[in-house]
Structures are given as C-alpha cells and as structure tokens.
Amino acid sequence: MPRWFFATTDGQLIGADLSTGEPFFHQRLPFSPIVGDRNPAWLAITMCPSDDGRFLAVAQRRGMEGAVFDVATGKVVLELRRGEYHPEHCTFPLRFLDDHRLVHAVEWNQLALTDCRTLQRLDPNLERTKLDYFFGALERSPNRRRLASTGWVWHPLGVVATFDAQDLTSGEPQPAWSTQSDVWDLSVCWVDDERIATETLGMGEDVLLIQRPEDEEPLVKVPTPNSSELAMRRDELLSLGGETRAYDATTLAERSASPVPTTAWHPGTQEALSFTTPDGGGPWRLLSRPRSPWPVTEALRSLARQVQAAPSVEGRLVLADALELAGHAGEALEHLKSHGAHERCFVVDDLAL
C-alpha cells in the first residue's frame, strides 16, 4: 500500500494512501516548517518513518527543531533539537535503524540513538571527543548495519562519511571518508551493502559515481544529471529530478530516461512521486520511473513485452498505434512515439511489468 507523508507550508502533516486518495493521518507540526529563507518552501521539511510505520520523525530540513509522532495516536512522543552552529548548511540527520531506534542529531557534530518506545538514549551520551564534521542527511544500508551521511567539513568541503551503526551504541562513530565535492548535502544512496552512489560537483568535474566507501577512487562514474534524489529500483539506480533516468547499478550505463520530473521515492512500493505544480503544492500523482498512467489489456501488455525483448523504433511505433486505438493518450504516449534510439524505453518497460 503506497502510504506517503506530506508536510504543507502552513504546518500541516498529512499521511495519505495515494492509490485511493484516503488520508490516514492529519496533525499539525509542533514547530514552523519554514526557517527564514533557508529553503524553497516546499523543501523545508525532512522526514523518516520507522520500518513498521508506527513512528514518524520530522524536522526542519535546515533548522534546529524536530519531533517524533506516534502515527496511531497522532501524539508527539519525542521532541528533537540540534545545535545552532550552522544548521542552515545541512539537512537535519534523521534515520530509523528498525521499528523503534532512531538516529538523530543533538549537536552539529554529534548523533544520538534513541528508542522511541521507551524514550531512552541508547548511545553512551557522555562527554567525548566530537568529530569536526557537520553531519547531514543519513541513509541506511540494506542490511541496516551502516549509515552514510552527506555532510561537510570546513574549508568548506562536502564529504560523504560512512560508519557502522553499532558505533553509536559503543562510542563515537569512526567514519570512512569518501567522496569530496565543492557542494554538499547532495544525494546519496546505498547500491548494496558494500557500495554507495552519490554525486560530486566541482573538484574539476561534475559526476554521478558508485564507489566502495573505504576506497578513494570510484568504481565507475558518468557525467551527473544533477538529481534531486538517488534511489535503487531492483538492479537499477534511479536519478530523480527534472528528468528521471535509470542506470545500470554496476556500469552506470543509462538504460532509460523519462521527460516527466519526479521528486521523491517510496522504497517499499518502488514508486516515484511527481508534483503537478512547480512549488510542489499538489495535487500529487504517483509514477514508477514513471509508471505509465494507463490500465492496459493483456494483449497490449504482451505487445509491450515483445518490444521490450527486441527494442526498435518500428516496434515502439506499432505499440503506440495500438495504444492510441485503445483510447490512450498523453505525455507518456508522446514520449513513446518520439523515442528514436534503438534502446530501452521507460514506457515500454513499465507497460511490460
């Protein structure tokens, strides 16, 4: 079930099933979603649900305040606050390790681990030497054992740090420092338990890359599409943004591209989200790289599978004609008809699913 959470610019927090349009959660944020002029209004909040959906952690993306909601009761069970030292430069770190353990910022260079059921701090919570590193957005590896942070250090310089989640219960994280960039707070995601994908801007080149966190050199890199978010869809790396692109997760060879912009990714349902207004104010629509918006017959699906197995311009035009005869139209159909290369097409892929 594609359950999504949204924060509005007037401070509402909404949970809805976008396949049916039914809301299941509606509360007000206990803090302002807008912090001065630090963000475009529609990118002012960061949020993360627990694995079982019981808790939702939300925070001002470039501010100091956050909270954890019990989704069933709608109550705030935990208030969050990070230090006031340059929060405007990096996303408030939030990431659940499982159903109840939340990693979150308490100072600009310190992470805490809290059990949202008991509200107990699980990290040592002691005075200790702190890293000279501004933690940013956190991403969890598939096996839940490691975290990646898109933070920065003073020159300033963006640096991706990866570390074992277990370090949070035994002492200070001992990161492996990897990608460096003239820009920080960029997209990062785990390709698998051993590799990360991220971007680097400046440093002589703008690239999308895959690397092992402990290695200085990337395994592979290509010119960056400058994505708003990176995500894994089975064996493909997706780059969301003004265009949606799919890459082979080993070679970074481009498999398909979509002219439809996408903004957010739901890892559970493997669906992308697109806004129909530039400011993200909704209404929203669900896509899947992106999902083609047509209910199709088995005959049309079978034809799409034939075109997928043997990509060709002629085959796509035959499929487009069949779709038009069935009464389908719109942006995805125009892309199908204008996609001239003898390579995979996202519309064909999604119709064939």
pLDDT digits (tens, 9 = 90+) for 297-342: 889 989 998 998 888 889 999 999 999 999 888 777 887 888 776 6
Ranges 26-35, 74-83, 252-261, most confident: 74-83
Helix/strand/coil (H, E, C) string of 32-99?
A: CCCCCCCCCHHHCEEEEECCCCCEEEEEECCCCEEEEEECCCCCEEEEEECCCCCHHHCCCCEEECCC
Stronger pLDDT, 87 or 339, i.e. the higher one: 87
Whether 103 contacts 88, CB under 8 Å: no
Return the half-sphere exposure (C-beta side, CA atoms, 13 A cut-off) of residue 215: 12
What are the residue boundaries of the structural domains of the chain, listed by start? 3-222, 225-291, 298-352
Within this chain, domains 3-222 and 225-291 share the same CATH topology: no
Domain 3-222 has CATH 3.30.460.10: no
Which CATH number applies to 225-291? Answer: 2.40.10
pTM: predicted TM-score of the whole model, two decimal places: 0.79
What is the rounded distance in angstroms from the CA atom of residue 228 to the CA atom of residue 233? 16
